[in-house]
Structure 1
Amino acid sequence: MHRLLILSILFSCFLSFSLLADGSAIGVNYGRIANNLPSAFKVVKLLKSQGINRVKLFDTDPAVLLSLSGSGIKVTVNFPNEKLFFAAKKPSYALTWLNKNVVVYHPKTLIEAIAVGNEVFVDPHNTTKFLVPAMRNIHKALTIHNLHNTIKISSPIALSALGSSYPSSIGSFKPELIEPVIKPMLNFLRETSSYLMVNVYPFFAYESNADVISIDYALFRENPGNVDPGNGLKYFNIFDAQIDAVFAALNRLQYDDVRVVVSETGWPSKGDSDEVGASPQNAAAYNGNLVKKILNNGGTPLRPNANLTVYLFALFNENKKVGPTSERNFGMFYPDMKKVYDVPFTVAELRG
């Protein structure tokens, strides 16, 4: 009896540690807007060699999903913005899409989430009103296959969904979005025990305010910090301040029980002449220090025990992306799979 009790306690401790470790996690975004990337098979080998066990895709490419089969890597797939209308209007469309793009691969490919749309609120095609109905119909399709408790559904939002974000304590969603889509989406996430996906980029905040924001504050390096006059909390980096603005916005609407996953964040290693913060050194500092923070179960000043899951953007530089030079240089690896700079992805590497 005594021995069984000890074993039970040890198992409980192990389970608690496992749950905690799973709560704070690092993944990567595997974008493929390029014409020079390695095969998906080689990419999976690269992910495994780096100890990366979570990957977020921007589509449901069969070659990629088949290559991930049996890898043990947890996968988030994307349902595209341009198909939200069809999924919202026709439950049969959502079911057909799910059968073709998820069911045939799972569970050999460990699909753990479907990102329905991406930054829909800034989509120039104005697909916002179709978002939540599409999410619900895809969830119904999951229920038909009894996968609704295994695969979560969310939708990545840009930080611009906030009407106020500085200081963090006044964080709030844009008023025009709250009743039509934010509350219905948060209700759905609460009902399904899912989480809110948020894309945050301190790089852009720094670039827009480099005259008043120190580079050390942007890169998690030592700095005096800034006190939020609204809540008295002290912030030592932009990332925490941005995430706490989201938490404050959730609190304001009384959805403080909805978890947050950072679906995209990163820093470019190269930019145009006016993109002063873009460099390999700064990218290494931002991503490296962020990984250290997350893998040490670092929450935020407002939610110290948040145990965030963070997806770094991005795995590769993507030479076909449009826009300024920085857009093509967020990758941590070159297309030949050589590192652009060093980033630790695991606790073992941190202790190195």
Structure 2
Amino acid sequence: MERLSLPFVFLVLSFISLADCGSIGVNYGRIANNLPPATKVVQLLKSQGIERVKVYDTDPAVLKSLSGSGIKVTVDLPNELLLSAAKRQSFAYTWVQKNVAAYYPSTKIEAIAVGNEVFADPNNTTRFLVPAMKNIHEALVKYKLDSDIKVSSPIALSALQNSYPASSGSFRPEFIEPVFKPLLEFLRKTGSYLMVNAYPFFAYGSLPNLISLDYALFRENPGVVDSNNGLRYLSLFDAQIDAVFAAMSALKYDDIKMVVSETGWPSKGDPNEAGASLENAAAYNGNLVRRVLTGGGTPLRPHADLTVYLFALFNENNKPGPTSERNYGLFYPNEEKVYEIPFTVQGLKNYRDKQSPVTGSGERLTTPVGGGGGNYSASASGQTWCVANGEAGKAKLQPALDYACGEGGADCHPIQPGSTCFDPNTLEAHASYAFNSYYQKKGRLIGTCYFGGAGYVVSQPPKFGKCEFPTGY
């Protein structure tokens, strides 16, 4: 994971019916002295329905614990071994036999990450990357594992020369001929994919006055239009991903797939780390899971369902650097969740009606008191509705109303002149109806009642005049 200081901006959030389109995994880092044993970690993964895990080595205790679990595993050949793997085929044979073949297939190893963010490695191991990958692949061929186990290498976004607008994405020129072309050719030849570590947190943190927090957290926002092709991006994450797709396309490797091998948001940081908070971490990871599991690709690759590995499973107390580095965990070392988010399609279905006070989406399960202009009667149905915040003001409410009735696809016919919900003819009433229509159509998913702070969730049915708010479409 590398801190970045360049703006990587961007997407179209796909709110479609819940289907197992994308896949969520987690990174299991262990730079800590207080983590539970690997056997308990595997039980934790299974209890959460997490079906993919990525580790940063080939620790025997971890790989043995994963045996028979059914969890798909990506292992890592560390940067310090790149030279040996590149120079000696015999080393690659021995490494694969000892660290992969010895555990497979009872431990479902599906990929080997050769190195990690090698382009950012201060030890200058970049020139060894592709030769090492080729030798590791040859070792897989020797043990007849090459059809089941892919070989790749995670790159940081600092490997890009340009990233904004997304369609102008390009790799750093000094690496194109010696590394990127051979790397992409190897991935194409072996049917593998490019691993990418993408962190909107770093981009936002470096330019908090220029990048919208809503844009970084997958919340409702006006979006950013790519000046080259007119595509509108509603999330920073998708723009980062498309910048890499564009860089590959510029080299004529449009057919290479991508796996997001790391992404995450810290729940705590130093005072100068903009955006590092529990609420924002819950928003980013929760909305990211929803975005991945509800399917749909990016503006440049609309059919490219993504596999995404969240960083990280635990808070790791021995990691050096700023406070954020020790607070990316989804779980505390005692296995309690740092915040509540789902990891599976079923989890999304169960979770959307049980949002906690800190959902990360800015939503509140509450009943407004006074000044709202609406009457709220009690309901024991467990249903929720979305209404406008009358205190948000016209500057926020009007654009949000326009979005809901336009791009958002809300049913706004009832609030047209002469229709059943036109009266009361107030901006708050009309926006509330439109917001709720959008919210219900999106299945009441977390984040779909934010509208830049102009909307919030209530647990009692709103009523403006004689207008009744639907709960389903």
TM-score by length of 2: 0.70
- The answer to whether structure 1 residue 193 and structure 2 residue 191 are counterparts is yes
- The answer to whether structure 1 residue 324 and structure 2 residue 300 are counterparts is no
Cα displacement string for residues 34-82 of structure 1 (whole angstroms, at most 9, x for unaligned residues): 0000000000000000000000000000000000000000000000101
Tell me the distance in 2 between the aligned counterparts of 1:42 and 1:30.
13
Q: Within 5 Å, give how 1:21-40 maps onto structure 2.
A: 24-40=22-38
Partner amino acid for 2:30?
R
Q: How far has the Cα of 1:21 moved from its partner? A: 6.8
Cα displacement string for residues 303-346 of structure 1 (whole angstroms, at most 9, x for unaligned residues): 11111000000000000111100000000000000000011100
Query: Does the 8 Å contact 1:268/1:327 carry over to 2?
Result: yes
Q: Within 5 Å, give how 1:287-306 maps onto structure 2.
A: 287-306=285-304
- The answer to whether structure 1 residue 267 and structure 2 residue 265 are counterparts is yes
Partner amino acid for 1:152?
K
Query: Does the 8 Å contact 1:116/1:154 carry over to 2?
Result: yes
Tell me the distance in 2 between the aligned counterparts of 1:87 and 1:349.
41
SS in 2 for 1:84: helix
RMSD of aligned residue pairs (Cα, Å)? 1.0
Q: How far has the Cα of 1:200 moved from its partner? A: 0.3
Query: Does the 8 Å contact 2:21/2:294 carry over to 1?
Result: no
Q: Which residue of 2 aligns with 1:338?
A: 336
Tell me the distance in 1 between the aligned counterparts of 2:75 and 2:19.
23
Tell me the distance in 2 between the aligned counterparts of 1:122 and 1:83.
16
Q: How far has the Cα of 1:23 moved from its partner? A: 5.8
Q: Which residue of 1 aligns with 2:180?
A: 182
Of 24, 49, 59, which aligns to 1:61?
A: 59
SS in 1 for 2:309: strand
Cα displacement string for residues 186-220 of structure 1 (whole angstroms, at most 9, x for unaligned residues): 00000000000000000000000100111100000
Q: Within 5 Å, give how 1:38-77 maps onto structure 2.
A: 38-77=36-75
Q: How far has the Cα of 1:159 moved from its partner? A: 0.5
Query: Does the 8 Å contact 2:170/2:247 carry over to 1?
Result: yes
Query: Does the 8 Å contact 2:20/2:345 carry over to 1?
Result: no
Q: Which residue of 2 aligns with 1:114?
A: 112
Tell me the distance in 1 between the aligned counterparts of 2:20 and 2:169.
28
Q: How far has the Cα of 1:22 moved from its partner? A: 7.0
Q: Which residue of 1 aligns with 2:150?
A: 152
Query: Does the 8 Å contact 2:164/2:243 carry over to 1?
Result: yes
Tell me the distance in 1 between the aligned counterparts of 2:140 and 2:188.
17
Q: Which residue of 2 aligns with 1:105?
A: 103
SS in 2 for 1:224: coil
Query: Does the 8 Å contact 2:19/2:345 carry over to 1?
Result: no
Tell me the distance in 2 between the aligned counterparts of 1:282 and 1:23.
25
Q: Number of residue pairs matched?
A: 333
Cα displacement string for residues 220-264 of structure 1 (whole angstroms, at most 9, x for unaligned residues): 000011101011100011000000000100110000000000000
When Rg is computed on C-alpha atoms for both structures, the one with the higher figure is 2
Cα displacement string for residues 11-42 of structure 1 (whole angstroms, at most 9, x for unaligned residues): xxxxxxxxx97762000000000000000000
Tell me the distance in 2 between the aligned counterparts of 1:167 and 1:208.
17
SS in 2 for 1:131: helix
Tell me the distance in 2 between the aligned counterparts of 1:23 and 1:224.
26
Q: Which residue of 1 aligns with 2:168?
A: 170
- Unaligned runs of 5+ residues in structure 1 are 1-19
Q: How far has the Cα of 1:276 moved from its partner? A: 2.3
Partner amino acid for 1:49?
S
Q: Which residue of 2 aligns with 1:310?
A: 308
Query: Does the 8 Å contact 1:314/1:332 carry over to 2?
Result: yes
Of 174, 199, 202, which aligns to 2:200?
A: 202
Tell me the distance in 2 between the aligned counterparts of 1:44 and 1:350.
22
Partner amino acid for 1:300?
T
Q: Which residue of 2 aligns with 1:130?
A: 128
Query: Does the 8 Å contact 1:247/1:256 carry over to 2?
Result: yes
Question: 1 or 2, which has the higher helix percentage?
Answer: 1
Q: How far has the Cα of 1:291 moved from its partner? A: 0.4
Tell me the distance in 2 between the aligned counterparts of 1:247 and 1:129.
23
Structure 1 residue runs of 4+, over 6 Å off?
none
Q: Which residue of 1 aligns with 2:242?
A: 244
- The answer to whether structure 1 residue 78 and structure 2 residue 97 are counterparts is no
SS in 2 for 1:75: strand
Cα displacement string for residues 134-168 of structure 1 (whole angstroms, at most 9, x for unaligned residues): 00001000001110000000000000000000110
Q: How far has the Cα of 1:298 moved from its partner? A: 2.5
Q: Percent identity between the aligned chains? A: 71
Query: Does the 8 Å contact 1:23/1:309 carry over to 2?
Result: no
Query: Does the 8 Å contact 1:154/1:197 carry over to 2?
Result: yes
- Unaligned runs of 5+ residues in structure 2 are 1-17, 351-473
